[in-house]
Amino acid sequence: MPNGSSALNSNVGCVMGSSPGVEAGCRPASSRFLALYYLERPLARLTGRVQLCYNRHRMHGSAPTMDAAKTLCDALENAKHEHLVVVTGAGVSHASGIPTFRGTDPGAVWSKDVTELGTYRYFLLDPVGSWQWYTSRFDHVLNKQPNAAHVALAELERWQQSQGGRFTLVTQNVDPLHERAGSRALIKVHGSADRVRCIKQNCANGPPFGALDRSEVDFTAFQANPGCDTLPMCPACGSLLRAHVLWFDEYYDGHADYRWSEVVAAARGLSLVLFVGTSFAVGVTDLFVQALVQREVPALAIDPSQRSAPYRGIDMIAEKAEVLLPEVCRRLGAT
């Protein structure tokens, strides 16, 4: 990855001079949720009620504890006729061989600098370096398969709906593993690794509505010889293409595919929320924690590292999701 101003500016000619009409990377708007919102404005400043206290169910061995499975089963039974929202983060895909973004994993993507690569600003400064990193990572991600946690969440969706309840799965992950496992009531609030989009506003392939399947773009020349002259370009207008993901200096309402209004509606109308494999470090989790604070609805979080939750009302379950969730589905008769 380039370091220093000279390295960062080495490819600046790829995009500079073509800024009119391109996406705005970061616009002041106090009522909008920035991707890095939670890190920049801790929830404690907003509510004054956040406490780093939580209940734990400890994991012993490879099988889930009776208390952990029973706790989750009871909560799901109580909400089976209502609106269950599941919010997943990178931890749910860890068992599929995809590194987490933070935490203790030595391969964590943002372990060095959360804003070093994942910003629109960096893309404009060095689109070649940005695309090199993303093509390498996305090729890895797109070759992975769902694990037992993904499959169990798809089963839980069908079970909840069969009971007359509502189900919404909001994932922070850009991998395609939830949909490959069969999830249908799915919102990919941070975008998709298997799609790209034009940087030009209102282009057929650009924001606020346009995007392309990654398979429609030939990356062969770029991967063989990365440079300004081989960067992927929009087939409709000739502007640069970018990854179809939400960067840390962008807003959740920046593209229709993030379906932010539906996420907000889910937060306002949920009856139970289950967090799986998230570090509670971005805007979407902050939104749901605010909803818990304001509405006092029950919440559980599955995290084998026993990371503390940002609010007392979240019941932490220190289990591996790929172990616990299949057992819970078995007990519910959801398999």
Residues marked as catalytic? 190
Report the distance separating Cα 197 and Cα 210, nearest Å: 7
Token pair for 278: 């998230």
Long-range contacts, stretch 36-42, CB < 8 angstroms, 24+ apart = 36/114, 36/115, 36/248, 36/249, 36/282, 36/283, 37/282, 37/283, 37/286, 38/280, 38/281, 38/282, 38/283, 38/285, 38/286, 39/114, 39/281, 39/282
Collapsing DSSP to helix, strand or coil, 169 comes out as strand
Residue 245's nearest CA partner among 284, 188, 176 is 188
Report the distance separating Cα 135 and Cα 127, nearest Å: 12
Q: Which residues contact 33 (CB under 8 A, 6 or more apart)?
A: 251, 252, 253, 260, 283, 284, 286, 287
- The DSSP bridge partners found for residue 168 are 85
CB burial of residue 251 (10 Å; 0-12, 13-18, 19+):
buried
**Contact between residue 112 and residue 133 where contact means Cβ atoms under 8 Å apart:** no
**Contact between residue 300 and residue 270 where contact means Cβ atoms under 8 Å apart:** no
Token pair for 149: 């946690």
